[in-house]
Structure formats: C-alpha cells, structure tokens
C-alpha cells in the first residue's frame, strides 16, 4: 500500500513537470504537505515536521500567524482584485514602507522578488542610458536572463559565463559582468576600464544565496562611493534580508543607502509580493507615459490580499522586542551548534546572521564564493539528508541557508539540537573510520 504522500507524488508527476513546481522544492522522499502551524508542517499522512525552510524565508512570524490571517480575512470582506484606479490600502502600505526604508522616496509593487530585480535593472538602464550591470559570483537575483548565472558555480566555471538554465538568451546575459564579492578594487577597476558603460551594481548586502557571507562595511561604503562617482545605480537586493533582519532592510542596519532596493518574501508573511523602492527621480519614471517612461505593469501588482499582508506584517514586526528575539534565537542556535561541532572534533562552523543560519563544513574565515569552495559538500549533504529524515525541513542543497521564525522557541530548537548532536556524532565516527 502506498502512503498518502506517495499517492499525491505519483499524481503530481503525471500533471506537473518533475512532480514539483521548482526543482529546489525537492526534499528526497515524497512529502506532500497538508497543513502548517507556527514552526511546524504536517504531511498528508499526519506526520509533523519542524520547518527551517520557512518558504525560502518568507515566514518570519511563523505559519498562519493570527494577525496576518485576520488582516487577509478582513480585506476579503470588502475587496477582491480590482486592477484599476488606486486603493487607499495601497497608499497606506506605500506610506508605511517609505517611512521605514532609508532609500525609499517612492515604492512600486509587483508579485515576486525576481520581478522586482528585473524592474530595478530596467529602471537603472533607462535612467543611465547604459547597458552593462555588475553582479557578484554566488549571488542570486531571480530567474530572468539578466542575472540567472554564476550562482553555485564549480571551480572550473569561475570567471566564465555559467548560466543557471538552458534557454537563457546570451545576447541579454552578455551585458552582465561577474565579479568577486567583497572586492571593491575589482569593481572600481572594471568601471574605470569601461567608462560610461555600467548602468548598475546589484548586490545582496548579505549574500544569503551562498549561505551567509556578509558584505564588509568598507566594501559597501566603497561601492556607494564608486557608484556615486561614476553615475552608476547601486541596487541592494534585499529580497531575503528585507523584513527578516529589519523592517527597513539591512541598509537600515549598516547605514548605507542604495539608489534602489528590492524586497519580497518576508514582507507579507507568505503572500505574493515584490517591491521596488528608491530615489524619487528614478522611481518617477514608472509613473510616466511617453518619452522616458519605464513600463511596470501587472494585473496582480498591489493585489488587496498582499497589501493587507504587508500592512499586518510590518505592524507585527515593528512591535518592541521582535527583532531582538529573532537575533537571540539565532545566536542561541548557532552557539549550541558550535559547541556540538567542537565536542565532536569536526571541521565545520555554524554561520548566519540574525534568524538565518546554516553549517559550513570547513573552518576558517570566508568573505566570498571562492572561500566557500573549501566546503565539504559530501558531509554537508549527509548532514542535511539526516535531518530531513528526522523530520526537520531543510533545503537539501549544500551552502543553502536555513531560517528561524518567531514561533521557533528554545524548546523547538532544543529538539532539533538533539538530532544535530546525534548526526554530528555519526559524521565524526564515519570520518574517523
């Protein structure tokens, strides 16, 4: 007899390519989720899992937070999709964000983080009249052809065009220059060698798509200076860092203001959203028609349910002590993991920032993707597979970050730490054999 999980997976394979809506959702054995609550997910057979995936980081408050559910239900009693004119709710949310995000004179809404980065790059090109953009090795800024390259590249592909997908149009991708993270000298030298060619620098201020590589403050200051001196638009991709580490994004923590910033995921606690925020003289091109206008259409831009979710999420995250608690939980988990690693004598380290965490399977410092090539990917994957088998939901790809939500208290973390301790002991024994 097949389980409900297996039966649903078989049905999915018949009608959904690969049986999943994205290859990155694959967990190994078939798991069909039926219910979510706080830090937990429940599958179609009723088994409970602790969720450290958090919908790629969208769930900062925890699944089905009552304030978010209430806001969605309330707006649903009065509005559904309109797609014309303006809603007062859209204005209220925009005002909240402009007041919270340092770079935001104005904001525009779309439906995903990938859409937001696409629009930000189009804006930068329109504003500067230039074509080239700079991104960094290991960074991910969405699925579109301008940036879907050089993520988790092999050592052999470093410095080469490394597309993430077949079908990417090279004529679009060739205008993207890949440079090493935390290397301002490389950025400045490239821009000087190509004067008036670079439209934008796009960067994750914490490179969470390769775990948790934090941009050095001097690096970000240098990027700000280089961009200003050369008429280049500096874009912070805060699709992960925004709202997870602070309502105002990481820019509000580090004190460096980009020209444009993109947000998504955590702004709505799980409802579709993309946000482009930035300087008025750049953003106003979205509102124009005719010459100089930058088109940013979308039937679902500013859909009422998502706007209600943003408003409620910002209100909840703005309550006293919320981020202190998230950082406290992250520090506790990383500290305990480092103790376990030391006890078992493994070459590994807990890493992360705030409520983002992972284990790197190497020791020593790291500042860019090249340093991460020291990671023992085999141990990393064995660790992840063991925890998934123990009903902890991880992304089973090496170097990928994991998340906490406000609903993950110490008792939840301690249960996971017991399993991590056992898993690390097993890894240490096999390494010694």
Which residue pairs from 13-22 have beta carbons closer than 8 angstroms and sit at least 24 positions apart in sequence? none
Q: How far apart are CA 391 and CA 346, in angstroms?
A: 23
Token pair 């702004």: residue: 267
Q: Out of 135, 177, 265, 311, which one is annotated catalytic?
A: 265
Active site residue 140: yes
Chain Cα centroid distance, residue 26: 18
111 within 8 A of 274, measured Cβ to Cβ: yes
Set 43, 183, 237, 376: catalytic member:
237
Question: Of these residues, 40, 52, 127, 140, which one is catalytic?
Answer: 140
Structure tokens at 15: 């009608």
Q: Tokens for 235, please give them.
A: 């874009």
Q: Which of 254, 265, 242 is nearest to 56 (CA)?
A: 265
Based on the residue annotation, tell me whether 146 is a catalytic residue of this protein: no
Question: What sections of 43-200 are H helices per DSSP?
Answer: 54-57, 66-76, 88-100, 113-128, 170-173, 184-193
| 67 vs 93: CA distance, rounded Å | 16
Q: Are 184 and 219 in contact (CB under 8 A)?
A: yes
In whole angstroms, how far apart are CA 125 and each of 106, 200, 201?
Answer: 18, 7, 11
Tokens 């579109």 label which residue?
144
Known catalytic residue: 237? yes
Instruction: Please say whether the beta carbons of 48 and 300 come within 8 A.
Output: no
Q: In what order do the strands lie in the sheet with 132-136?
A: 106-110, 274-278, 260-263, 233-237, 198-203, 132-136, 176-179
Which residues are known catalytic residues? 140, 237, 265
């Amino acid at each position: 007899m097949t389980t409900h999980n297996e039966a649903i997976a078989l049905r999915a394979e018949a009608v959904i390519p690969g049986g999943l809506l994205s290859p990155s959702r694959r967990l190994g054995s078939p798991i069909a989720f039926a219910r979510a609550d706080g830090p937990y997910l429940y599958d179609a057979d009723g088994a409970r899992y602790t969720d450290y995936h958090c919908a790629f980081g969208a769930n900062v408050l925890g699944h089905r937070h009552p304030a978010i559910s209430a806001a969605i239900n309330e707006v649903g009693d009065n509005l559904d999709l309109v797609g014309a004119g303006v809603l007062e709710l859209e204005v209220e949310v925009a005002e909240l964000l402009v007041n919270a995000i340092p770079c935001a004179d104005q904001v525009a809404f779309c439906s995903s983080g990938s859409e937001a980065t696409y629009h930000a790059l189009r804006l930068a090109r329109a504003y500067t009249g230039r074509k080239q953009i700079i991104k960094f090795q290991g960074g991910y800024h969405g699925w579109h052809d301008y940036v879907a390259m050089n993520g988790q590249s092999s050592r052999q592909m470093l410095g080469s065009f490394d597309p993430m997908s077949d079908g990417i149009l090279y004529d679009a991708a060739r205008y993207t220059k890949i440079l090493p993270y935390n290397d301002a000298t490389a950025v400045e030298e490239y821009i000087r060698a190509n004067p008036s060619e670079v439209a934008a620098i796009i960067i994750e201020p914490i490179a969470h798509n390769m775990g948790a590589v934090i941009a050095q403050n001097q690096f970000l200051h240098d990027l700000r200076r280089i961009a200003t001196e050369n008429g280049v638009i500096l874009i912070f991709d805060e699709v992960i860092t925004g709202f997870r580490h602070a309502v105002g994004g990481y820019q509000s923590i580090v004190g460096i203001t980009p020209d444009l910033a993109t947000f998504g995921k955590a702004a709505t606690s799980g409802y579709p959203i993309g946000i482009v925020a930035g300087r008025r003289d750049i953003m106003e091109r979205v509102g124009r028609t005719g010459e100089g206008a930058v088109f940013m259409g979308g039937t679902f831009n500013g859909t009422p349910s998502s706007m209600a979710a943003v408003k409620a999420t910002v209100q909840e995250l703005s309550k006293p002590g919320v981020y202190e608690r998230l950082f406290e939980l992250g520090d506790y988990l990383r500290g305990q993991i480092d103790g376990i690693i030391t006890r078992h004598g493994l070459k590994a380290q807990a890493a992360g920032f705030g409520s983002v965490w992972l284990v790197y399977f190497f020791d020593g410092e790291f500042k860019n993707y090249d340093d991460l090539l020291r990671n023992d990917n085999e141990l990393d994957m064995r660790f992840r597979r063991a925890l998934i088998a123990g009903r902890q939901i991880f992304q089973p790809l090496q170097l990928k970050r994991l998340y906490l939500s406000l609903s993950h208290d110490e008792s939840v973390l301690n249960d996971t730490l017991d399993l991590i301790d056992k898993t690390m002991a097993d890894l240490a024994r096999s390494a010694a054999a």
